[in-house]
Homo-oligomer: A and B are copies of this chain.
């Protein structure tokens, strides 16, 4: 077995253990990681200094951007502590695994339970920031998944020092955890401790990634967090499911009945609060009726005053050309070309297009959008419903800024990523995106041949068993025993 396959195989073994451990054991592991990292702080900052010194040389040689250099730093005020606090915050979240999602009585004594469980092995690829290792390790362990991590090469020493501390913590998490009933159980415990260390592994090179992308036997989900180019490369080079998004091409449609003040507030927020974010609006669609009043000109004015450059189609350009605005800000009002409607600008540039109906707006979005988040601003509930049903995107918003598309803003407590996939998990993804389910069937010697139509055969009962949200199988059993 080559080195890369061994990494993937070890991760799978760790995942097989992780799927069996309790919420309390996960909590113990997270708290141990927290304390090991706290005590390893001097070593980690020393490693961070090595990375920073190497990076500084690169910056001085013009080979690395100073913003990337900044993102490497773990020494800045409060940075290390914030990273550590993140572990405790994740520990406090609801365990997404082990929850009964549905239960059915197939027959007397034959009961089917759909129970959430970890996906298995995650491969997470991200760019420079070393604190991501800690964040992902905590998310993975909380959800019961093993993780293989590849950070930016600039942060390698820091990531390795962090990973060493996590490894030690994981070993301690299992050892001496349960009272062993026998020598065999003690032996089994030591074996588990050794295997569990591989629950979080770091790999270094791009070549490692290429090798790991082929390990679909062992790896269940790839999560790229980084540039469009990184995500696209991964999507095109693996058979393993990829959770993420390459583009965030969000649109906001200002319908005929939209209120001007509302539109000004929402569109400025959607475009200007963080232009480099994937949930920023890149295309503004405006109903043609707004060209007949000063609505569009006023909306354009506040955008331009907020330093936004408008790339306008012929109708909107003509409308603005005739206005006082154009005289003052001609540099910010430009003609668009076709590609502008397929471009994620990630800066204060906005493509503008005039449309004659909500259907035309929807058609534009379904053709040019990236299925991330699209908004309609309208006073018509009917039209809003039509838009939210007909636009094929992870987020469909009514009278709100596309910038709300975020796991923390949604209240998930953590964000694994934002997915523009059409299966598994869509939109901002919290811990729930790292679990799937198994069917447990509990019988008492039941055989399929006893069921069906015909003499001596029994029908299935298929009676629904009432389940509370987030109930575990243990809780459900105890509740049902009390009811009996």
Contact = CB atoms under 8 A, between A and B. Distances in A.
B443 A397 contact: yes
Contacts of A236: 239
Chain A binding surface, main DSSP class? mixed
A262 interface: yes
Contacts of A188: 359
Nearest to A17: B390
A244 interface: no
Interface stretch (A27-35, A293-301, A327-335, A433-441): A433-441
Given A188-B359, A220-B422, A410-B104, A404 B446 contact: yes
Interface stretch (A43-51, A308-316, A317-325, A423-431): A423-431
Given A404-B106, A451-B409, A395 B265 contact: no
A447 interface: yes
Nearest to A191: B359
Interface string A395-433: 111111101110001110000000001111111100000
Given A104-B410, A411-B104, A422-B220, A443 B398 contact: yes
Nearest to A115: B388
A20 interface: yes
A445 B266 contact: yes
Given A241-B421, A388-B440, A424-B424, 9 more contacts: A16-B366, A19-B389, A120-B392, A184-B357, A395-B438, A404-B448, A411-B460, A426-B437, A427-B439
Interface of A: 12, 15-16, 19-20, 104, 106, 110, 112, 119-120, 184, 188, 220-221, 235-236, 239, 241, 243, 259, 261-262, 265-266, 268-270, 273, 357, 359, 362, 366, 384, 386, 388-390, 392-401, 403-405, 409-411, 421-428, 436-449, 451, 460, 462
